[in-house]
Structure 1
Amino acid sequence: MAGDTVTVEGIVTLDARGKTGLGGFYLQSGESGADDDPATSKAVFVYTRDSQSGTGRRARVTGVVKEYEGLTELSPVHDVTDCGPATLPAPESLMTAWPLSGRNAERLEGMRVGSDSPLTVIDTYQLARFGTVTLALAPQYQPTRTRSPGPAALELKTRQSKHRLLLDDARAVQNPVMVHPPEAGLSADRTLRAGMRLGIESAVLDYRYDEWRLQPMQPPRALAGNERPKPPGPTEPGVYRLVSFNLGNLFNGDGQGSGFPTERGADTAREWQRQRAKLVAAIDRLDADLLVLSEVENDGAGRHAALAELVRLLDGDWRWVLPGQGGPGTDAIRVALAYRADRIRTVGEPETVTGGPFDALSRVPLIQRFRPVDGGQLFRVAANHFKSRRCQGATGTNRAAGDGQGCYSAARMASAKQLASALSSSDRAVPTVIGGDLNSYVREDPIRTLQAAGYGVPVNPPPPTYRYRGRAGTLDYLMIDQAGHSRVDDYGVWAINANEPRALDYNLEYHPKGRAERLFEPGPWRSSDHDPVYLDLRLRH
């Protein structure tokens, strides 16, 4: 009927005509006016600023039928007449249209719905920017976390995409001063974490910008689920804690309060102060003995270097390992090792691995041996940051193979092979830990290459450390060889970042006046976009 002028009558279920609204209202048949065809929707969106009628009232509308990017609406509207109060139609069960695709969802388009089961928050990336949250029936994980790359992983990804939808905020405004959900508004100490569950009792099923959405008629009800975790407890005497942490581009300008914007990371001195405060809080609460760090500014070894400044701010007597022959590479970022000098000490000179993929793709690894200061087991740590999955500049075998491993999988696998070979050429009897951001999920080729070389994670599969487009997965590792496996006391992830809304981080972009201050606290939450991993090793008996 597109292009036809029609007159319809129904009940206004959700009025979104305000200054920041969607530019119209949803009109749905009452029970007495509905047809008997269960395959067709009983509602339509009316695109108008006409002030007649409102939520809970019957309206008669004359307008032109239009399909606007998949949404059936009346536009332009010639006349709106208020016909008096009416009882809202009861919400239909959203689950009857699940998964939301094709005619299955079309039959409820524009209608009032509710969910029989709580829905799980899987992504909050656009929460503060556009007011949207991605929901699913259950948590979703990167397919190559549990499935080998190839058809099975791709099939799972396709299936996941059909079992999700957006929770919108019935507003057409960017960067709102108040961010919902949660019902009382997002703040530094009132978050909306991925993994939390929401009860959706009353909303309109909408379709905009190529995605099915819920426009809430009443605030979603927050239910228990995935609350902020406490930091790992203290270690016992003789047990030492290693932490792998991607710092989310630690750049400090010139190290003297200016030199901003930087190539990456903080754009201003104020952003740097906010980032620094969060990272210091996170690291201090982990009570680590040794840090395996990635995304650190590659700015030399002077006192004004970003890492030197961070280390000075940490609780305890912290030192950092200066790169040995071969240096930290030429990338804008490098890996680093820092340690509590009152608890452990370095043994011998540091080593690096250069050539091959480490010349221009993966960051140059840094290898150092350590021993507890009062005696104990000698051990070795290799800090790494393999090439990212972004496709910029990818050519030949580094292009995405369509198996779920993303771009530069070949470079990451070559990095794993060369690293394992370098480590096996010396100190074979010394317990060795490979740590850092490997940019590879658990079942992907680079991780399997390291496993074949004798390195493993004590927990299978390891807890997620990163979240991308609603799917959680592990990119950050502390993998230990067979010589050290018996010394593992504990292994885990402190989930302080990947599940938190990005609006809580140090950045000041997109914040309206006053919001950045309300959402910020100098605590560990959203100190980076990766979660830190910890491995406790028993090095003294």
Structure 2
Amino acid sequence: MQQESTQHRWRQRGKAWLPVAAGSLAGVYFALAAWLNPLEVAADAPCGEPGVLLSALQGEVSPRTGDWVTVEAVVSADFTHEDGFGGFFLQQPAAEVAPDKTRSRGLFVYAPETQVVVGERLRLRGQVGQHHGMTQLSRIQIEGRCGEHGALTPVPVSLPLTEAQRHRLQGMVITLEPPITVTGNYSLGRFGTLKLADERLYIPTQLALPGQAAQRLAAANRERMLILDNGSRRQFPDPVPYPPEGLTAERTVRTGDQLEALTGVLDYRYDNWRLQPLSTPLFNTANPRPQAPPAPEAGQLRLAAFNVENYFNGNQGFPTPRGAISPRELARQEAKLSAVLRGLQAAAVGLVEVANDGYGADSSIASLAAMAGEDWAWATPETPRTGSDEITNGLIYDRRQLVALGPAFSPEHRAFMGGNRPPLGQWLRHRHSGVTVLVVVNHWKSKRCGNATGEQQDQNDGQACWNPLRLAAAEALIQWLGTLPEAAHSPVLLLGDLNAYAREEPLQRLAAAGFTNLLAEQQPPPHSYVFMGQSGTLDYALGNPPLLALLEQVQLWGINGDEPPLLDYRLGGKTREQRQQLFSDSPWRSSDHDPIWVDIRPN
């Protein structure tokens, strides 16, 4: 290892002589760091003597785990601050070691009580270990503060990065080059992090058939994704680190937004690869908030669907089984839902995740109808409740435009007696044209595994858990509609949250039965939900041939899936100031799903 050529002045602290680069302001900090940590500095300060290369300690698992080693390298990043990671990163400059593109030249040093300065050269001794998959040194003793090296040259990289490539760069300063796209913001509120990729990532089965094709796409997505961290282990940060100007109800970071080139340390922490930025990220609004749907044209009929994310109106007291847990939260939730229901400008809206509390004047479905407008009513079956779950499906409609023909109805089938909620069907007649449409609102079993057993477990084909149960719902729905003679020649519109992505088996089965996914041909691929940094459609409008003959347009209103959950109505996990700054009575993050609307022109 080469001795620094920089000339040094020497100051004594106890029995240790400390080098200070002449004429360097950083040198003053080096001396101060040593003064504050006298017990960590050995008296002889043997800078420049042979030591172990950092690359010799690196690998997917360090070959020197448990060993005590002496290293000398440059401080590349300091995270010893309050709420930091309790340590700092070292890196050996490329000019000082033989070229080796197979191992990293960086390393994390766990030393929570040690003060260091970025750019300082340190010689230290410590024990090699693994911490949650990351190689690190701990239990250190600083043997020498060896002067100022200055800034390290970042390694330019771009996504995708293979696992092997990431290991070669672990702990090193890199510059992530564009294109850089925000592909997930779910953890922005709790951990202050964003998921990045070279472009928006999609759930594999949104684009590929289940099985090997989906598995290949999942592997590619892993190589394309990287977490943008913030150098802190603090949860529920205030202020939220991104955007740097401050997150508010009006100023957001949406999935699909982009970043300029970004310099930081490539880190592996909490079971994920992360970039700890060393400069302020610069965001570009590449996916601005969309405008509200335009009003339907004269003669058009608009039908819509919306997952209201567990709306309970509090008619049985608080906390409710799901949704808002207090009157204050309920008021905030209702303000947002009202903005959506009115903003859709639809004649009927199929609703998912509504409290299954009946159909009376004080029911949750009645409250949703009132939010939509004073002329709105709700579909009412002959039974007091639909299904046995805490939530159910519902439908509200504008009586000025539509007439409900008879009561709402649902099939009695074992496929809808557990997990899948019973579909809710309602015949509606358009007052202007006299055309009758059958609208069926659906909500199938989610992909959460829970108590899944046997074939209902995840088969590693991309469809997650409970796929056979969702497929059974598709089969039962088709059989049931086949028992309705009028449905064969009338427009039928299937709406709702199917909890299956576009290329999965339940959607294939519906297509084979003649029900077309009305979003299928849209480009770029549509999405109504973002999960684990990947986008896809769970919410659908599907039509039979008579419905397709009337179809004019179909769109998702991207008000929720792309927005950070922190902007929702909830009060938990927010400071008093954030509860004000992050909330508005607007449609943004009114739910976790985007609504879908369909315009038809009845003849």
Task: Identify the TM-score tier after normalising by the shorter chain.
Answer: over 0.9
1:76 corresponding residue in structure 2: 139
1:10 matches 2:47 = no
Contact 2:119 2:151 in 1 (8 A): yes
Q: Which amino acid aligns with 2:556?
A: V
Query: Contact conserved, 1:176 with 1:512, CA < 8 A, in 2?
Result: no
Match of 2:534 in 1: 471
Q: Does residue 388 of the first structure (1) align with residue 434 of the second (2)?
A: no
1:449 counterpart residue number: 509
CA offset at residue 327 of structure 1?
4.4
Q: 1:391 to 1:41 in 2, by over 3 A?
A: closer
Alpha carbons 2:341, 2:371 under 8 Å: kept = no
For the 8 Å contact 2:260–2:283, the answer to whether it is kept is yes
User: Do 2:227 and 2:272's aligned partners in 1 also have CA atoms closer than 8 Å?
Assistant: yes
Q: After superposition, where does 1:92-491 map in structure 2 within 5 Å?
A: 92-95=155-158, 98-102=160-164, 104-254=165-315, 259-325=317-383, 327-425=385-483, 426-427=485-486, 428-461=488-521, 463-491=526-554
Asked whether 1:522 is paired with 2:580, we answer no
TM-score by length of 1: 0.94
- State the shift of 1:457 in Å: 2.4
Which string of whole-angstrom CA distances, capped at 9 and with x for unpartnered residues, describes residues 142-191 of structure 1? 22222222221122112212221211110011111111221112221111
2:256 counterpart letter in structure 1:
G
Letter in 2 for 1:468: F
Shift of 1:56: 3.2
What secondary structure is seen at the aligned counterpart in 1 of 2:220? helix
Q: Secondary structure at the match of 1:280?
A: helix
C-alpha separation between the residues in 1 aligned to 2:438 and 2:95? 76
Contact 1:98 1:105 in 2 (8 A): no
Return the alpha-carbon distance in structure 2 between the equivalents of residues 529 and 519 of structure 1: 16
Which ranges in structure 1 are unaligned for 5 or more consecutive residues?
none
Could you tell me how far 1:374 is from its partner in structure 2?
3.0
Moved more, 56-65 or 179-188: 56-65
Would you say the 8 A contact 1:129–1:510 is kept in 2? yes
Distance 1:68 1:399 in 2: 31
Q: Partner of 2:294: helix, strand, or coil?
A: coil
Aligned-partner SS, 2:422: coil
Partner Cα distance (1:512, 1:407) in 2: 36
1:220-249 CA distance string (max 9 Å, x none): 111242121112211111101111111101
Matches of 1:31 and 1:154 in 2, distance apart? 37
Paired residue secondary structure (1:107): helix
Is this contact kept in 1: 2:359–2:385, CA < 8 A?
no
The answer to whether the 8 A contact 1:11-1:88 is kept is no
Query: Which string of whole-angstrom CA distances, capped at 9 and with x for unpartnered residues, describes residues 261-315 of structure 1?
Result: 1111112221111111111111211111110111000001222211212221223
- Is the deviation greater in 525-534 or in 512-521? 512-521
| 3-state secondary structure, aligned to 1:365 | strand
Secondary structure of the residue aligned to 2:380 is: coil
Q: Shift of the alpha carbon at 1:486?
A: 1.6
Deviates more, 1:78-87 or 1:274-283: 78-87
Contact 1:93 1:113 in 2 (8 A): yes
Letter in 2 for 1:217: L
- C-alpha spacing 1:108/1:203, structure 2 compared with 1 (3 Å): same
| Alignment check: 8 A CA contact 2:529 2:535 kept | yes
Q: Can you list the C-alpha shifts for 1:311-338, whole angstroms capped at 9, x where unaligned?
A: 2122351111112358411111110110
Q: Is the 8 A contact 2:439 2:495 kept in 1?
A: yes
Pick closer, same or farther for the CA change 1:306–1:81 going to 2, 3 Å: farther
Whole-Å separation in 2 of the counterparts to 1:456 and 1:7: 66
The structure-2 alpha-carbon separation of the partners of 1:124 and 1:301, relative to structure 1 and needing over 3 Å to count, comes to same
Q: Is residue 145–residue 461 contact of structure 1 (8 Å, CA) maintained in 2?
A: no
> Which whole-Å deviations, capped at 9, do the CAs of 1:476-500 have from their partners, x for residues lacking one?
1111110121211110101111111
TM-score of the aligned structures, taking structure 2 as reference length: 0.85
CA distance in 1, matches of 2:459, 2:273: 30
For the Cα contact (< 8 Å) 1:442–1:461, is it kept in 2?
no
Aligned letter for 1:70? G
Following TM superposition, by how much is the alpha carbon of 1:403 offset from its aligned partner in structure 2, in angstroms? 2.1
Shift of 1:368: 1.1
8 Å CA contact 2:160–2:198 kept in 1: the answer is no
Name the stretch that deviates more: 123-132 or 53-62: 53-62
User: Counterpart of 2:262 in 1: which secondary structure?
Assistant: coil
Which stretch shifts more, 32-41 or 176-185? Answer: 32-41
Once the two structures are overlaid, the 10-residue window that deviates more, 57-66 or 164-173, is 57-66
Amino acid at match of 2:519: V
Candidates 497, 507, 518, aligned match of 2:570: 507
Q: Which amino acid aligns with 1:33?
A: E
Q: Deviations over 1:28-82 (max 9, x none)?
A: 2235434432322222222223454312333333333333223222211212754
- Choose between structure 1 and 2 for higher RCO, CA contacts under 8 A separated by at least 6 residues: 1
Could you report, residue by residue, the CA deviation over 1:419-438 in whole angstroms, capped at 9, with x for unpaired residues?
Answer: 22222322121111011111
8 Å Cα contact 1:350-1:366 kept in structure 2: yes
Q: Across the two proteins, how many residue pairs are aligned to each other?
A: 535
Which residue does the alignment assign to 2:43?
A: none
Q: Any unmatched runs of 5+ in structure 2?
A: 1-63
Q: Aligned-pair distance for 1:360?
A: 2.3
Q: SS in structure 2 opposite 1:467?
A: strand
The answer to whether the Cα contact below 8 Å between 1:324 and 1:352 also exists between their aligned partners in 2 is no
Tell me which amino acid in the other structure corresponds to 1:500. E
Residues 331-360 of structure 1, C-alpha deviation per residue, up to 9 Å, x if partnerless? 111101100111221123322112221122
Deviation (angstroms), 1:20: 1.1
Q: Which residue of 1 aligns with 2:13?
A: none
Question: Which amino acid letter does the alignment assign opposite residue 570 of structure 2?
Answer: N
Deviation sequence 1:189-221 (CA, Å, 0-9, x none): 111111111224210111112221100001211
Specify the SS of the correspondent of 1:205.
strand
Q: 1:436-468: per-residue Cα shift (whole Å, max 9, x none)?
A: 111111122211221122111233256211111
| Secondary structure of residue in 1 paired with 2:546 | helix
Correspondence 1:45 to 2:105: no
**Structure 1 Cα separation of the partners of residues 65 and 505 of structure 2:** 51
Question: Rg bigger for which structure?
Answer: 2
Provide the secondary structure at the position in 2 that maps to 1:264.
Answer: coil
Task: Give the whole-Å Cα distance in 2 for the aligned partners of 1:81 and 1:62.
Answer: 10
Q: Measure the CA separation in 2 of the matches of 1:307 and 1:403.
A: 37
